[in-house]
Amino acid sequence: MKFLKGLLSLIVLILVLGGAATGAGWVWMQNALNQDGPLAEDVTFTVEPGEGLASVASRLEKDGIIRDAKLIRLKARLDGTETSIKTGEFLIERAASTSDVLKSLVDGKGVLHKITLPEGRTTAQLLKIIEADPVLTGDMPAEEIAEGSLLPDTYLFNRGMTRAQLIAKMQKAQADLLEELWPLRDPDIPVTTPYEAVILASVVEKETGRVDEQPDIAALFTTRLKRGMRLESDPTIIYGVSRGEPLYNAKGQRRTLRRSEIDTKTDWNTYQIDGLPKTPICNPGRGAIAAVLNPPHTEYIFFVADGKGGHLFAKTLNEHNQNVAAYRAYERKEIARERAGE
């Protein structure tokens, strides 16, 4: 009987000591996980596509971001996040603990990069910007990207995004915008489909670099279409000649349109064809699309550059001729001023 009591006491003692050791180990691990890390300053750390936790943990230790790769792997195993680490580039703050580092990689709030795709560029021109970006990955899509199908904007992305993914994102952004704005359109506009709206918006986009002028330009073209007049937009001629690339003379200098180009009929030359061009002539932004879908009510049917970055609008040919004369006078004055300063 005494033997059994002694054995039971020994078992209890072992269990107590084991529990104490386990508790002490847990406390030690929590302290190790949450103590300040070795980083002396903020750094960025990149998790490559397909990279596993073992490789990531090893590099974190090697780069001096954490003290012990085994500890972060144990933490991830206990949390069930071994396969939850995101791909991308992450900001690790100075003295970040092992727990903080793991949380940053699992939450996926990586460093954001940006790329600006300007309004009024052709698809070919935007694709060149995307192809040249040093952070995006992957090849350009093999399939042709339709003219006018991308929504220009400044896009934020994590390292690891492919060029194909960004292009798809831009196409979806335009589709979403049209889905939002098309039901709110003025029912009297002379476009019958969202695609026609993009075509007209592309002409508006190329005609003015000023967002505040886009509604008036859109209204003017709307009036012309309703009256059966041709758009007579110079950028549509250029697109038919060079697919939107600038025109140059033999000396490599930018040039204006030639009479032969104005007189040549193409699928885009709105001096020679009725209605809209065959396709968009660039990728219009939100402002131009919104202006086309809900233009203000004006009676403008003519416009000419004012020489100051804007345009002069007219309701009659007589008013237009006066505006043209004013622009020519401004041009002569500027030329004389430049020569005087030489």
User: What CA–CA distance (Å, rounded) separates 116 from 123?
Assistant: 14
Q: Tell me, what's the pLDDT at 9? A: 54
CA angle 118, 275, 186 (to 5 degrees): 70
Reference 214, options 125, 271, 148, 298; nearest CA is: 298
Residue entry with tokens 């039971």: 8
Strand-pairing partners, residue 155, are 115
The residue written with tokens 């050791």 in the block is 21
**Rg of the chain, C-alpha, whole Å:** 33
Strands, DSSP E only, in 52-203? 88-92, 112-117, 153-158
> Nearest-CA neighbor of 91 among 135, 156, 47?
47
Distance CA 66, CA 80 (A): 20
Instruction: Please tell me the distance from the alpha carbon of residue 302 to that of residue 315, in angstroms, as a whole number.
Output: 6
Quote the longest CA-to-CA distance of the chain.
Answer: 124
| Contact indicator for 312, 216 with CB cutoff of 8 Å | no
Give the count of beta carbons closer than 10 Å to the beta carbon of residue 13. 10
pLDDT reported for residue 334: 72
* pLDDT for residue 17: 46
pLDDT for the residue numbered 341: 64
Low-confidence ranges of the chain (pLDDT < 70): 1-26, 28, 341-342
Amino acid symbol at 212:
D
At 3 the pLDDT is 46
Per-position DSSP letters for 31-93, written without gaps between them:
HHHHS--S-SS-EEEEEPTT--HHHHHHHHHHTTS-S-HHHHHHHHHHHT-TT-PPPEEEEE-
Residue 5, CA distances (Å) to 16, 17, 82, 305, 328 in order:
16, 18, 46, 106, 115
